[in-house]
Amino acid sequence: MGLAAASAVAKMGDGRLDFFFCGVPTRSFALDGDTTFELRKIDGVEVLCIHRGPQRYVPNGALDNAALVHLLRTDGVAERQAD
């Protein structure tokens, strides 16, 4: 798990949130009005879900969800209430 955590990176800049694994881009989102996020409880575990239009992305579990949520809130991304 330590290697996966060291290999998974999220970067925010230029109005985008970019995810990388081992230096390879895996997903990218524009941080505008079409992007939202929510925190869901799945089997008692809090899971971050990022929504962009009809698409949903759950970041790698090795990433620090609290830090990602802080970045999203700081950048003004709207938070949805989990269903």
In the chain, where the domains are located: 2-77
Q: What is the pLDDT of residues 14-51, one digit of tens each?
A: 889 999 988 899 999 898 889 999 999 888 888 999 99
pLDDT of residue 75: 87
Find all residues with CB under 8 Å of 53, minimum gap 6, and list them. 34
Q: What is the pLDDT of residues 54-63, one digit of tens each?
A: 889 998 777 8
Distance CA 68, CA 80 (A): 15
Q: If you average pLDDT over residues 68-79, what whole number do you get?
A: 91
Contact 48, 65 (CB under 8 A): yes
Residue 4 has pLDDT above 80, yes or no: no
Its pTM stands at 0.80
pLDDT of residue 83: 66
Contact 50, 29 (CB under 8 A): yes
pLDDT of residue 36: 94
Residue 6 has pLDDT above 80, yes or no: no
Tell me how many degrees the CA angle 26-40-76 measures, rounded to the nearest 5: 65
